Amino acid sequence: MIENQSANIDNKENDVPNQGNSPEEISSTQNSTTENNEISSQKIEEINTEELKNTISNNDARLEQLEKEHETLKNQYVRISADFDNFRKRQSRDLDDLKIQLVSKTLTAILPIVDNFERARQQLKPESEEAQALHRSYQGLYKQLVEVLKQQGVSPMRVVGQQFDPNLHEAVLREPSDEFEEDFIIEELQRGYHLEGKVLRHALVKVSMGPGKQNSQQEVEKDTVGEDVYSEVNTSEDV
């Protein structure tokens, strides 16, 4: 019995070294492991923070580049839009000018016919019934022609009594006038026309030189006659 207890005690003493380190050693080992884990976690956090900073920096740079590209494309779009708008307006003006040129060329060729109608209307004085019927037919054709010209935007000039304007009128004759002042139109020799506010054909006109021109000419003639009479009187006295 005593021998068995002694054997058990020996066995327990032999088992104690086999159970491992002491609690202090175990605690120290655990603390060291915890510190190592904390250091590793800190390093990982630092690495993640650095990567995040780099990512943010790269994103900021990319965003700035995209904003610059967007501004460049926006400016290009604005310029292209403005150029296209100017091109469209220029094309529209060119088409309008071309249309006016074509219409002007056609109407200018028709205007002499209108002039002939007006001359015939002023000169013809039908007396017989047959002549009057023919004259009425002729007047109907003339009115139709005038109406077509109005529909095309043609309007006649009214020039008599107006001041001469070289942009609208062409002076063919100039003569003294007691009725009109100088540079005012006395008579219309050929009617002028507008087309959409522009001159289709200049009016041929007679322009006044004013009443002073005629009076001054008469005074010069009177002075000349007076000098001749005075010269004759002196000559007779000398004789």
The pLDDT tens digits of the residues spanning 2-31 come to: 444 444 545 444 444 444 455 555 555 655
What's the confidence (pLDDT) of residue 39? 67
What's the confidence (pLDDT) of residue 204? 94
What's the confidence (pLDDT) of residue 13? 46
pLDDT at 56 over 50: yes
What's the confidence (pLDDT) of residue 169? 94
| Homologous superfamily in CATH for domain 154-239 | Head domain of nucleotide exchange factor GrpE (2.30.22.10)
What's the confidence (pLDDT) of residue 121? 77
Taking residue 92's Cβ as centre, other Cβ atoms within 10 Å add up to 10
The pLDDT tens digits of the residues spanning 187-230 come to: 999 999 998 888 999 999 999 998 864 444 444 444 444 444 33
Rounded Cα–Cα distance for residues 45 and 84 (Å): 57
What's the confidence (pLDDT) of residue 64? 87
Strand 169-175 to strand 185-190: parallel, antiparallel, or no bridges (unpaired)? Answer: unpaired
The pLDDT tens digits of the residues spanning 60-113 come to: 888 888 988 888 999 999 999 999 999 999 999 898 888 888 888 888 888 998
| pLDDT: which is higher, 47 or 190 | 190
The pLDDT tens digits of the residues spanning 112-170 come to: 988 888 888 777 777 777 777 877 888 888 888 889 889 988 999 999 999 999 999 99
Measure Cα distances from 150 to 95, 104, 117, 137 in Å. 21, 13, 16, 20
Strand 203-208 to strand 169-175: parallel, antiparallel, or no bridges (unpaired)? Answer: parallel
DSSP β-bridge partners for residue 169:
203
Residue 150 makes CB contacts below 8 A (sequence gap 6+) with none
What's the confidence (pLDDT) of residue 125? 75
